[in-house]
C-alpha cells in the first residue's frame, strides 16, 4: 500500500475508533464505508479485522462484567461465531454492489424498527429462540462485511441494559464475531499475510481514537447514548446504499 493510502486508511480507522470509544460500536460502521470507497469492501474488511478484535476485547472487560456476560449470552455467542465463518464464504463469492445494497438496507431498516417501537422488550422466555436467530443473522452480516452490529445492538437495546452493561455485553459479542471473521477471511484466502501486517498497524490509530472517544462517553446521558447509536447506523446505512447505486 502506498504511503498516502496508508495514511488515509489510518485516518479512517482513527475516526471509527473515536466513535467506538463514545458509543461502544462504530469502528466498522464508520471505517468500512470510508475504506471501501478506496480499497474495496473485501480489502476493507481484511484491513480492519485485527483492530476490531483488539478494540472489542478491551471494551468487553468494562465494568468487570466479562465472565458474567460470557455465561449469560453463550448461545448467542456460539451462533454469532458459527455464522460469521459461514458469512465469510459469501464475502468471497458475492459481487460487491450486492453486498453493499444488502448491508445498507439492513442498517437503515433495523434502527428504524427500534425507533418506532420504543417499548420493544426482550424477555427471558423469548431469548430461548431469539438468541440463536439473532446470532445467525448477525454472524452472516458480519461475515460478508463486518456488520454484525445492527441485530446485536437492537437485541441488547430490547433487553434494556444499563449503559455500562450494554457496552461490556455488546463488545464481548462483537469480539467473538470479529474472531470468526478473522478465521474466515484468512482461511478462505480473501486476505494475505501482507494485509494482516497492515491490519496490525491499524491498532495504533484505533486505540488513540478510542481513548479520545471514551473521554466523551462518560459525559453522555442514557437517552443521548441511545440517540447516538441510532444516528450512527442510519448514516452508515445511507453511505452503503449510495455505494450500491453508484
Instruction: Read off the pLDDT of residues 198-233 as tens digits, 9 standing for 90 and up.
Output: 899 999 999 899 888 888 776 767 677 667 767 766
Q: Where in the sequence is the domain holding 194, given as residue range(s)? A: 3-245
Report the domain count for the chain: 1
Task: Give the SS3 label for residue 25.
Answer: coil
Local confidence band at 112 (pLDDT 50, 70, 90 cut-offs): low
The span from the CA of 215 to the CA of 230, in Å, is 20
User: pLDDT per residue over 117-173, tens digit each?
Assistant: 556 678 888 899 999 999 998 888 877 767 777 788 778 878 888 878 888 888 899
What are the cell numbers at 223? 437517552
Are 187 and 41 within 8 A, CB to CB? no
pLDDT at 136: 92
DSSP secondary structure, 111-136, as one string: HHHHHH-TT----TTTHHHHHHHHHH
User: pLDDT per residue over 2-35, tens digit each?
Assistant: 777 888 888 888 988 888 887 766 787 778 877 8
Confidence (pTM): 0.74
Could you tell me how far CA 188 lies from the centroid of its own chain? 21
pLDDT at 164: 80
Local confidence band at 243 (pLDDT 50, 70, 90 cut-offs): low
Burial category of 124 from C-beta neighbours within 10 Å (exposed 0-12, middle 13-18, buried 19 and up) = exposed
What radius of gyration, in Å, describes the C-alpha atoms of the chain?
16
**For range 81-89, the mean pLDDT:** 87
What are the cell numbers at 232? 450512527
pLDDT at 133: 93
pLDDT at 210: 87
The span from the CA of 216 to the CA of 151, in Å, is 25
The span from the CA of 30 to the CA of 209, in Å, is 12
Residue 106: which of 129, 87, 132 has the closest Cα?
Answer: 87
User: pLDDT per residue over 28-78, tens digit each?
Assistant: 777 887 787 777 777 788 888 898 888 888 888 877 889 999 999 999 999
| Strands of the chain, DSSP E | none
Torsion from C-alpha of 169, 174, 176, 179, nearest 10 degrees: -160
**For range 189-195, the mean pLDDT:** 73
pLDDT at 100: 66
DSSP secondary structure code for residue 40 in this structure: -
What are the cell numbers at 177? 464475531
Interior CA angle at 16 toward 178 and 230, to 5°? 90
What are the cell numbers at 149? 452490529
Share of the chain residues as helix, strand and coil, in percent rounded to the nearest 5: 85, 0, 15
The span from the CA of 63 to the CA of 107, in Å, is 28
Amino acid at each position: 500500500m502506498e504511503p498516502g493510502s496508508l495514511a488515509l486508511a489510518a485516518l479512517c480507522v482513527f475516526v471509527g475508533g473515536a466513535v467506538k470509544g463514545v458509543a461502544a460500536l462504530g469502528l466498522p460502521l464508520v471505517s468500512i464505508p470510508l475504506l471501501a470507497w478506496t480499497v474495496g469492501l473485501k480489502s476493507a474488511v481484511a484491513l480492519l479485522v485485527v483492530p476490531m478484535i483488539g478494540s472489542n476485547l478491551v471494551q468487553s472487560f468494562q465494568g468487570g462484567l466479562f465472565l458474567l456476560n460470557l455465561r449469560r449470552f453463550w448461545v448467542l455467542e456460539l451462533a454469532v461465531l458459527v455464522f460469521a465463518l459461514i458469512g465469510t464464504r459469501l464475502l468471497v463469492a458475492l459481487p460487491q454492489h450486492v453486498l453493499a445494497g444488502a448491508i445498507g438496507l439492513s442498517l437503515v431498516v433495523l434502527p428504524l424498527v427500534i425507533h418506532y417501537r420504543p417499548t420493544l422488550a426482550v424477555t427471558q422466555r423469548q431469548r430461548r429462540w431469539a438468541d440463536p436467530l439473532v446470532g445467525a443473522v448477525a454472524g452472516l452480516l458480519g461475515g460478508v462485511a463486518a456488520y454484525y452490529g445492527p441485530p446485536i445492538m437492537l437485541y441488547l437495546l430490547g433487553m434494556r441494559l444499563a449503559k455500562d452493561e450494554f457496552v461490556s455485553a455488546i463488545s464481548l459479542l462483537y469480539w467473538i464475531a470479529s474472531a470468526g471473521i478473522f478465521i474466515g477471511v484468512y482461511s478462505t484466502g480473501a486476505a494475505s499475510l501482507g494485509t494482516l501486517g497492515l491490519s496490525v498497524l491499524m491498532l495504533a490509530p484505533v486505540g488513540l481514537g478510542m481513548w479520545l472517544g471514551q473521554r466523551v462517553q462518560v459525559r453522555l446521558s442514557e437517552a443521548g447514548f441511545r440517540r447516538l447509536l441510532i444516528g450512527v447506523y442510519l448514516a452508515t446505512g445511507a453511505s452503503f446504499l449510495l455505494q450500491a447505486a453508484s
